[in-house]
Chain A
Amino acid sequence: MNETRAQPDRIIELRGVSKRFGSQVVLNRVDLAVQRGSVTVIIGRSGTGKSVLLKHIVGLLRPDEGEVHYEGRRVDQFSERDFKAVRREVSFVFQLNALFDSMSVAENVAFPMQELWSGRRSRREIAELADQALEMVGMEGSQSKRPADLSGGEKKRVALARAIALDPPPKVILYDEPTAGLDPQRADVINKLIRKLQHEYHVTSVVVTHDMKSAREVGDRVLMLHDARFLADGTPEEVLVSKVDQVRRFVQGLAEPEDLASLTEE
């Protein structure tokens, strides 16, 4: 803990985190330190444990080994009750959006604020903040729609609005594939939104993505997760010119030879 206090810029820190599901090792002694106010991008092939890593930060999964620290406190041993305090400072944008089907768009976006402020702020105030957040992601006018009436991209934008709709904005936002399913122009809006939250509100972001354009645009630092460990770590420019074969293939979108083997076999 003293070590972390000596480095207050590290808002999130994973130390030697390992996670297995049955016999499958998803994370193997992974270390990660996220600087306050930075945008950290984690890239990697599907199924390499990027989402699993994000979930450890807010205690949705607990490590088999290792430690998770938030704001200088070790949190991986927190009870669900104790974790609430962390979760109210850290927003999570889920890969599947996780919008509540039974609620309208406006109710979805207002939900975390109602839970957090529980009667301390008026409904009108919360509704206004929800409207502002929807406007930021280009979803104004869809307050009364149900998630089932939205396209995949629209759902993604509502999920983003729900994550940012707090006053002041959350300290940390964890994005799991924020631009997946969006057209390039909408994806660009989301990239700029992530940057805007960083510049204007000093929000720390951890972004898990496959989208190399997005990684390049938003990332202060890019890490690549491969075979349960980080294979690359550097600025977007450094990672883009990496000499490591797996990293080079991933950033250039080239298939691995073994993946192509089945196509070439006659």
Chain B
Amino acid sequence: MTDLLGNFGRFCLFSLSAVLYAPATLGHPRGWARLVPQAFAIGTKSVPVIMLTGAFVGMVLVEQGWSQFDAANLSDRLGAIVNISVAAELGPVLAGVMLAGRVGGALTAELGTMNVTEQLLALRAMGTDPVHYLVTPRFLACVLLTPILTCYADVMGALGAWLVFAAVHGGDSTAYWKYTQEVVQIWDVGTGLVKAAFFGAAIGLIACYKGFHCRGGAQGVGRACTESFVASFIAILILDYFLNVVVNQFYLQAYGPRSLI
């Protein structure tokens, strides 16, 4: 337990240090020179897998819900329910989980290898803070790119759902888009994207922390990658719950309750 708390404390200090370097990174051309390649690696290479995930989530939700909604004669509203689920919940969470596996694992492996081959020590020995040089650009790239990738998941989720709704089950396309437009508000998409930014921060920080603290050669790096994914996945689910509580409370206070059907 003491070890767990100590580890969490070290993670918090590590994260604070990475966050405090963010203004210096964003405010200097050399910071952007480190950030842009990371953003490219995290962003562009993740687009296909995120789009595929989003599309199939939308498709599966329509497939699952069609019979129930059709029996209740509410099939026209199915698109709205699926799309609000994707925009507010499944899009950011599944994009986060995919990135935790694809990007988080790669970041941990890269930094872990640098760690066991003394490259992190070499940076320190040259008077360069490895957190500033390596972690902050990766953290910022994850924070900035996860919401953008979530947009892809949201759009593909809506299109995938519409495809199954209209082409497989013969639903009314006009009703699908009409009710989606009525029900899914900017608020839902916006809170989904804010959550995605938090998930991105968790993925980036956990992956870098695990890489920086792995021990024991190739085996240690492999173990750190697994731990990184598991810890990111759990962090995403815990963050998701608490962010939902906050967002829902805020919505209730600001706008009052609403019915989706």
Name the distance in Å between B159's Cβ and chain A's nearest Cβ. Answer: 37
C-alpha gap A80/B128 in the complex (Å) = 10
Contact A58 B118 (CB under 8 A): no
Contact A94 B122 (CB under 8 A): yes
Return chain B residues, CB-CB under 8 Å to A88: 126-127
Contact B117 A96 (CB under 8 A): yes
Contact B126 A111 (CB under 8 A): yes
Contact A98 B118 (CB under 8 A): yes
- Decide yes or no whether A92 CB sits under 8 A from chain B: yes
Name the distance in Å between A159's Cβ and chain B's nearest Cβ. Answer: 9
- Decide yes or no whether B228 CB sits under 8 A from chain A: no
Contact of B124 among A85, A87, A99, A116 (CB under 8 A): A87
B-contacting residues, A89-105, CB 8 Å: 90-92, 94-96, 98-101
A-contacting residues, B123-143, CB 8 Å: 124-129
Contact A94 B121 (CB under 8 A): yes
Return chain B residues, CB-CB under 8 Å to A55: 121
Name the distance in Å between A2's Cβ and chain B's nearest Cβ. Answer: 28
C-alpha gap A60/B128 in the complex (Å) = 12
C-alpha gap A96/B122 in the complex (Å) = 10
Return chain A residues, CB-CB under 8 Å to B128: 115
Task: Using CB atoms, name the residue of chain A closest to B119.
Answer: A98
Name the distance in Å between A210's Cβ and chain B's nearest Cβ. Answer: 18
Return chain A residues, CB-CB under 8 Å to B124: 60, 80, 87
Which residues of B are interface residues toward A (Cβ below 8 A)? 30, 113-114, 117-119, 121-122, 124-129
- Decide yes or no whether A112 CB sits under 8 A from chain B: yes
Contact A60 B125 (CB under 8 A): yes
Contact B119 A60 (CB under 8 A): no
Contact B127 A98 (CB under 8 A): no
Task: Using CB atoms, name the residue of chain B closest to A111.
Answer: B126
C-alpha gap A92/B113 in the complex (Å) = 20
Interface size for A (C-beta < 8 A) is: 24
Name the distance in Å between A59's Cβ and chain B's nearest Cβ. Answer: 8
Given A98-B119, A101-B114, verify A80-B125 contact (CB < 8 Å).
no
Contact B127 A87 (CB under 8 A): yes
Given A101-B113, A101-B114, verify A84-B127 contact (CB < 8 Å).
yes
Return chain B residues, CB-CB under 8 Å to A87: 124-127
Contact A96 B118 (CB under 8 A): yes
Return chain B residues, CB-CB under 8 Å to A100: 114, 119, 122
Task: Using CB atoms, name the residue of chain A closest to B126.
Answer: A112
Contact B122 A92 (CB under 8 A): yes
Contact of A92 among B119, B125, B129 (CB under 8 A): B125
C-alpha gap A232/B125 in the complex (Å) = 29
C-alpha gap A55/B124 in the complex (Å) = 11
Return chain A residues, CB-CB under 8 Å to B114: 100-101
Q: A84-B127, A116-B127 are in contact. List 12 more A-B contacts (CB 8 A).
A: A58-B125, A60-B124, A80-B124, A80-B129, A87-B127, A91-B125, A94-B125, A95-B118, A96-B118, A98-B121, A100-B119, A101-B113
Name the distance in Å between B56's Cβ and chain A's nearest Cβ. Answer: 34
Pairs of residues from A and B, 5 with the lowest C-beta to C-beta distance, nearest first? A98-B122, A87-B127, A84-B127, A98-B118, A92-B125
Name the distance in Å between B218's Cβ and chain A's nearest Cβ. Answer: 13
